[in-house]
Structure 1
Amino acid sequence: MTAVRTFAPSPRPAELKLRGATFGTDELLTMAIVNRTPDSFYDRGATYAFEAALERVHQVVEEGAEIVDIGGVKAAPGEEVGVAEELRRTVEFVAAVRAAHPRLVISVDTWRHEVGRAVCEAGADLLNDAWGGWDPRLVEVAAEYGAAIVCTHAGGVAPRTRPHRTGYADLTADVLDGVMKLANRALEAGVDPASIIIDPAHDFAKNTHHSLEITRNLDRLVATGLPVLVSLSNKDFVGETLNLPLEERLTGTLAATAVAAWQGARIFRVHEAAQTRQTLDMVAAIRGTQAPALALRGLA
């Protein structure tokens, strides 16, 4: 019997493969959110219509996004969205994005294996399982199609539920244990080790103190050697920390983004692609992994 491979902590992050695209260890990637939902918490359905969503894709690509993350169901509680409706919102759209942008990395935010299969057929490269393996067959779909998978710490709660008085004896240990179990399951299912991503899931099964704590300890996730994705954009922990409404959270989001990038996170799921790209480029230049766009001062 072949021994099951397991990930071991590594001081150097691995190369990242997202189906046909490969990214080096020093590349910081912007994953722009495109919601095909009428009730998304941030854009309030602005990209629910097909053409509006496609225009949003064109815009974020122009702004430097390497990945788009397409969602057909909002994360928060709300009106029930069945499999058939999620398929209607995502599959044809994924095909259109693939036709318009052949080299763009397409991610789909879903926890359902039926949707995962259909969007991979349509051209998706990455399955963003934000609910932490709730449907165990989704990872098998990723393996079958050679797609990447996001392994997320969602605290074991059901999809589309909010946290209520969630407690942890050791939050960071729980997050590490959860994402590594999912990562090893993906490995066992046959997903390419270079295509497995982990996400601590800020705000998912976490209060504001938890989300701040996991941000401080992000280096412990980075030390696993697996690429770390963070979804910080305009989240409640930013709003509560600064006591700001949804539309005023960009500055706090970018501050958290810079901290996460400095600690080694590599993928940033965002609403504001251009501002995030600038933040990441600045962090990379300070770290010395990217040259300034210009360096004329004092040379003339």
Structure 2
Amino acid sequence: MKWRIKGRGLDLSRGVVMGILNVTPDSFSDGGRHAAVESALEHARRMIAEGAEIIDVGGESTRPGAAEVSAEIEIARTTPLIRALRREWDGFISIDTWKAAVAAEALAAGADIVNDISGLTRDPGMPDVCRTSGCGVVVMHMQGTPGTMQIAPHYEDVVEEVRAFFAERLETLAAGGLDPAALCFDPGIGFGKSHEHNLALLRNLPRLAPDGFPLLLGISRKSFIGRILGSSYIGERDWPTVAITAYTRRMGVMLHRVHEVRPNVEALRMIEAILGPQ
């Protein structure tokens, strides 16, 4: 399996880690830590050295209850970093945004992937930006918006509804001229889902993505982990994240979006050695 990204193919014959790089003052886990370009670059370099093949840059917090920021603020936060990282690294850079204007500026600065929490549904200009650039696209499922999504999430059947959303997105985006091979799908753990919804999705991952398409999973340090552990301390969520990475790789998930790169890369390599040639 390969994910087509700006004319290049990302080999998904083994698990790939996407390192999270938030340049926001208010993200739930690392808000404010990498706001300066040089600090953010240093963190990106560390994640790359530890095995990240994608760096995902975000300029707007999407934690539950977060307020939106303007496209201008988001561009000012992300574009200088993407430009600087591109000058020194030829790996894959992702922009985490649902806004077409932000995506267009990031792609022009050197980004390769658009990671859209709305699945290209909130900004009508986003599909065209992605189509014309030939970028890779992460289609994520979310019920509501970050400001409202955790108030009272409800589904008749969360697995079936997420699966149907992905099928509709594939059909609609392909009909609009977007290369299907550029798409991957993210079930949006914690985005408009209760504790029970998150666990149901994790138990049924092979049923979610359209046949032959890769899944990306972003569960790193999510609050449902804290609920299971009975702890609100975010620092205690990293090793459970590694456990979920290994478990979901066994279920066929090849793309993993995480904060701590090295232990998750090591977990992938170990479980792949146990699984043997696939």
Q: Report the TM range for the smaller structure's normalisation.
A: over 0.9
For the residue of structure 2 that corresponds to 1:150, the secondary structure is: strand
**Is 2:125 the partner of 1:137?**
yes
Q: Indicate yes or no: 2:247 matched with 1:259.
A: yes
Contact 1:148 1:195 in 2 (8 A): yes
Return the alpha-carbon distance in structure 2 between the equivalents of residues 269 and 200 of structure 1: 12
Q: Which residue of 1 aligns with 2:69?
A: 81
Q: TM-score, normalised by structure 1?
A: 0.87
1:192: Cα distance to partner? 2.0
Deviation for aligned residue 1:281: 0.7
What is the number of residues matched between the two proteins?
A: 275
Bigger Rg, structure 1 or 2? 1
Q: How many angstroms apart in 2 are the aligned matches of 1:19 and 1:80?
A: 29
The amino acid of 2:184's aligned partner reads: I
1:146 matched to which residue of 2? 134
In 2, the alpha carbon distance for the partners of 1:208 and 1:74 equals 21
Residue 98 (structure 2) aligns with: 111
Deviation, structure 1 residue 198: 0.4
1:107 is displaced (CA, Å) by: 0.3
Aligned-residue Cα RMSD (Å) equals 1.6
Any idea what the Cα deviations from partners look like across 1:161-214, whole Å, max 9, x if unmatched?
Answer: 332222211110000011221222221232222110100000101011110110
> 1:233: which partner in 2?
220
Equivalent position of 2:237 in the other structure = 249
Which structure 2 residue ranges, 5 or more long, are not aligned? none
The answer to whether the Cα contact below 8 Å between 1:34 and 1:70 also exists between their aligned partners in 2 is yes
Once the two structures are superposed, residues 62-94 of structure 1 have per-residue CA deviations (whole angstroms, 9 ceiling, x without a partner) of 001000000000102345411110010111211
Q: 2:11 aligns with which of 16, 24, 29?
A: 24
Consecutive unaligned residues in structure 1, runs of 5 or more: 1-13, 291-300
Contact 2:37–2:80 (CA<8 Å) still a contact in 1? no
Q: Residue 211 of structure 1 corresponds to which residue in structure 2?
A: 198
1:269 corresponds in structure 2 to 257
Which segment is superposed worse, 17-26 or 91-100?
17-26
Identity %: 35
8 Å CA contact retained: 1:139, 1:149: no
1:196 to 183, 186, 189: 183
